[in-house]
Amino acid sequence: MPDAPASPASRPALTPEPTSAPTPTPAPSASRLLPGLAVCAAAVAASLTVNALAPTVSALLVAIVLGVVARNALRLPTRLDPGLAFASKRLLRAGVVLLGLQLVVADIVALGAGMVLVVVAVVLVGFCAALLIGRWLRMSLTQSLLIAGGFSICGAAAVAAVDGVIETEDREEVVTAVALVVIFGTLMIPVVPAVGALAGLDPMMTGLWAGSSVHEVAQVVAIGGSISQEALSGAVVVKLARVLMLAPVMAAIGLWRRSAVSRGRAVDGMGTEGGRLPPIMPLFVLGFIAMVALRWTGLVPVGVLGALKPIQTGLLAAAMFALGTGVRIRDFVAVGPRPFVVAGATTLVVAVTGYAGVLLTR
């Protein structure tokens, strides 16, 4: 026979359903953040020193290598974790915001409509090529997006920006994308001047091609500086025009992700936002746009801009170091050849698109 129902007095009390969203986890206190941030600061100092001694070596690359070495060669205490987590997200986004102050809209407009269209074409074609090739190779969408951003827009900063929008769960994918940017961009440093000379391009055209095709700003500066001052000026302005594309591309990714979440379509490897809809445009992208607008007004003194440049680099370097500490070599070596194939193919697509565009406009 079934058991008799329990009397009201003997029934366990039912826990009432929550009537509001759970209270968010409080942010770590400053004392908990300090140890991890202090280690990040030491890594930034070392990275900037190496960059000062060898300007063609990106401080961001040095920082992420230091992070990987620290994680795999040392036993990092857990008390560093809150500060490292803060650096990998908050400082990263702050660095992207300050990147907007490096853009001079008037210089970009002065390139002319033709070169501006070339920049847009390079970013769109390169981005789509990386996604399509990654899909063909059955690579994760998150890895494809990170490579697409870094190779079509502005290197490690763009990888960081894409990660800030999609919140990549596999940190090895972020490190892989940054490493590939450095590897393939560095290979372009001797290739672009050599091909430009063989093709009969004048210094200015070679500089414009470098700016429209090479991944990192430091790599573009190395190429332009090896050719002439005219080539350097043209290369940097075109490269900064590509950096400006960061805002619309990140906004588009944010809208796509929001639409996917609203339709209940979870994307593997991306943060869940705690069940909430992602913002239409992430706050740090709005900050980037605001800094571009502020620089355009001319209200920021030149001295302030000069002082903020190393701060911006330092923030991104701190974030790269923190990201590096999340990587274990035994996991990283398992990424396989697919990211390298996507990176190589995207580099070629971007270079050919930029080359064709420069020829058509000049």
Q: What is the pLDDT of residues 111-161, one digit of tens each?
A: 888 999 999 999 999 999 999 999 999 999 999 999 999 999 988 888 888
Percent of the chain with pLDDT over 70: 86
The pLDDT-based confidence of 23 (bands split at 50, 70, 90) is very low
Mean pLDDT of 27-35: 80
Q: At residue 301, does pLDDT exceed 50?
A: yes
> Distance (Å, rounded) from C-alpha 311 to C-alpha 333?
32
Q: On the CB side of 129, how many CA atoms lie within 13 Å of its CA?
A: 22
The whole-number pLDDT of residue 326 equals 75
**pTM listed for this prediction:** 0.75
155-159, 194-198, 211-215: least confident range: 155-159
Query: Which residue, among 85, 79, 119, 74, has the nearest Cα to 234 in the 3D structure?
Result: 119
Return the structure tokens found at 289. 């746009």
Percent of the chain with pLDDT over 90: 32
The whole-number pLDDT of residue 96 equals 83
Higher-scoring residue by pLDDT: 36, 61: 36
66-75, 101-110, 262-271: least confident range: 262-271
Average pLDDT, the chain: 83
Q: Within the chain, where are the H helices?
A: 30-53, 59-73, 81-86, 92-99, 105-109, 113-136, 141-149, 156-166, 171-198, 203-213, 217-227, 229-244, 246-262, 283-297, 302-324, 329-332, 338-361
The whole-number pLDDT of residue 194 equals 92
The whole-number pLDDT of residue 362 equals 72
Q: On the CB side of 207, how many CA atoms lie within 13 Å of its CA?
A: 22
270 bridge partner residues: 168
